[in-house]
Chains A and B, each alone.
Chain A
Amino acid sequence: MGYSWNWGVFLQPSATGDDTYLGWMFYGFKMTIGLSLSAWLIALLLGALVGVLRSVPSKTLSGLAMAYVELFRNIPLLVQLFLWYFVLPELLPKGLGDAFKQSNPIVQQFVSSMVCLGLFTSARVAEQVRSGINSLPPGQKNAALAIGFTLPQTYRFVLLPMAFRLVVPPLTSEFLNIFKNSAVCSTIGLLELAAEGRQLVDYTAQPYESFIAVTLAYMLINVVVMFGMRWVEAHVRIPGYIGGH
């Protein structure tokens, strides 16, 4: 079909001259990993908090937590990203918004992407945490309250230690998703893996090699995360639960 394959293209010096095309890809790879891991940190912390709030008896607190989850689950990720990146700086008080707009563009893109991915994923993490807490036998909570624990103590010493371990297997797929979702951030110009792939197509005119390389890189991330999470799952498994669950 007249296409000349050239895998050596990755070792050629890039258009800017200071790197190879492989170096570009590696930069994107590091960006994807850094973005996803920092967003995951936000997602875990906020998700755990919101998930716990959804299960507390107070109607106000659980209602607020539910509104949070519904808000972030029912707006597409791309729209949320644009809202963080284009809209929020305009709505902030003038000094703060201007400070953001005058900062390094890479920092702007990274911070918006990180916050967006983190909050988007935190709503999903919160749902898993809530269902983990709800799946515990109600007797555990009642027993803790009956022997005189306060509600915070019940959560701290009885419910959460169990729930957080139960919730690890379902969180694996959310962790995988955050890497895949990070590709959306290429739309605001963040040079992560997918964006570098696109750039390589433009600069090298070797579209197949570039795209195959990027696709393989995502599959590599997927496999590494899966094995890593399997190891974590084995270590937090609760004895006596079926399949550790």
Chain B
Amino acid sequence: MYEFDWSSIPGALPFLIQGMGVSLEITITAIIVGIIWGTLLAMMRLSSIKPLSWFAAGYVNLFRAIPLVMVLLWFFLIVPHLLESIFGFPRGSDMRLGSAITGFALFEAAYYSEIIRAGIQSVPKGQMAAANALGMTYGQTMRLVVLPQAFRNMVPLLLTQAIILFQDTSLVYVSALADFFGTAAKVGDRDGRLVEMLLFAGAVYFVICFAVSQLVRYYQKKLKTA
């Protein structure tokens, strides 16, 4: 039978917390950029200007057709070279965190835009017509009438997507970036205690994601009764 030895975890805690910082940094930046870019994409998709709506549809379908791992590899292996040759960045400058965040944000925007599009469409058409009748411009209608109502309905779905995003940040493992999971795997390898570190990492992810998903459920119930 395997004999557990958890003694390497307390010493590794400072590194693990630092790694969790990286994971959260990627998650939060990708959520913010993803929601802003996703909202723009959703508005383009619903726009009556055909080229804009084609562009948004193409973008969303492209990113939803390829695996996140492939997107991250593109941004880890290919895009830095491209930037180096176009903008003349010094060779070998460390762009891993930047490119990981960019990759996540562009990828998640495609998923957010689908949620937001459904949210915008769930607002009754009369609201738009009423705002127009009052003389509001398209921008004012969206900003003051449609989007506030749409976002209220979308909050649970957006948060659920955020939990998925947080779990997906572990995939920056492919670019050897020291996020929470990468750090845990590295420390486990170093101390020969991979089994314990992986179990510990799994437990931490479970506790965080489970807690947030329960909060989402609670909020959803409140939204329904309100």
Give chain A's interface residues, CB within 8 Å of chain B: 1-3, 70-71, 73-80, 82-83, 86-87, 90-91, 93-94, 179-184, 186-187, 194, 197-198, 201, 207-208, 211, 214-215, 218-219, 222-223
Contact = CB atoms under 8 A, between A and B. Distances in A.
Contacts of B74: 211, 215
B205 A79 contact: yes
Nearest to A93: B1
B70 A87 contact: no
B70 A74 contact: no
A79 B67 contact: no
A194 B78 contact: no
Question: Which of A1, A73, A79, A93: most chain B CB closer than 10 A?
Answer: A79
B69 to A, nearest CB: 4
- Per DSSP, chain B at the interface is helix
Interface string B65-101: 1111110011001100110011000000000000000
Interface of B: 1-2, 62, 65-70, 73-74, 77-78, 81-82, 85-86, 163, 167-168, 170-171, 173-174, 181, 185, 194-195, 198-199, 201-202, 205-206, 209-210, 213
Given A76-B170, A76-B181, A201-B77, A87 B195 contact: yes
A141 to B, nearest CB: 23
A119 B175 CA distance: 26
Contacts of A1: 82, 85-86
- Per DSSP, chain A at the interface is helix
A223 B202 CA distance: 34
A4 to B, nearest CB: 13
A230 to B, nearest CB: 15
A196 B82 CA distance: 22
A92 B198 CA distance: 16
A194 B210 contact: no
22 contacts: A3-B85, A73-B209, A74-B167, A74-B205, A74-B209, A74-B213, A75-B202, A76-B170, A77-B167, A78-B171, A79-B201, A82-B198, A86-B194, A91-B2, A180-B68, A183-B70, A187-B174, A194-B67, A211-B77, A218-B65, A219-B66, A223-B65
Contact of B198 (A70, A87, A182): A87
B81 A187 contact: no
A91 B195 contact: yes
Question: Which of B62, B69, B168, B199: most chain A CB closer than 10 A?
Answer: B69
Contacts of A86: 194-195, 198
A208 B78 contact: yes
A208 B199 CA distance: 38
Given A83-B199, A207-B78, A78 B181 contact: yes
A111 B194 CA distance: 20
Given A75-B202, A194-B67, 18 more contacts: A1-B82, A2-B85, A74-B163, A75-B167, A76-B171, A76-B205, A78-B171, A79-B202, A82-B185, A180-B67, A181-B67, A183-B67, A183-B70, A184-B171, A187-B174, A194-B73, A211-B70, A223-B65
Contacts of A184: 67, 69, 171
A194 B173 CA distance: 14
Given A1-B85, A87-B198, A91-B195, A75 B209 contact: yes
B173 A215 contact: no
Question: Which of B70, B170, B185: most chain A CB closer than 10 A?
Answer: B70
Rank and list the top 8 A-B pairs by shortest CB-CB distance, nearest first: A183-B67, A74-B209, A76-B167, A180-B67, A183-B69, A222-B65, A76-B170, A78-B170
B38 to A, nearest CB: 18
Contact of A197 (B73, B171, B194): B73
B9 to A, nearest CB: 15
Nearest to B185: A82
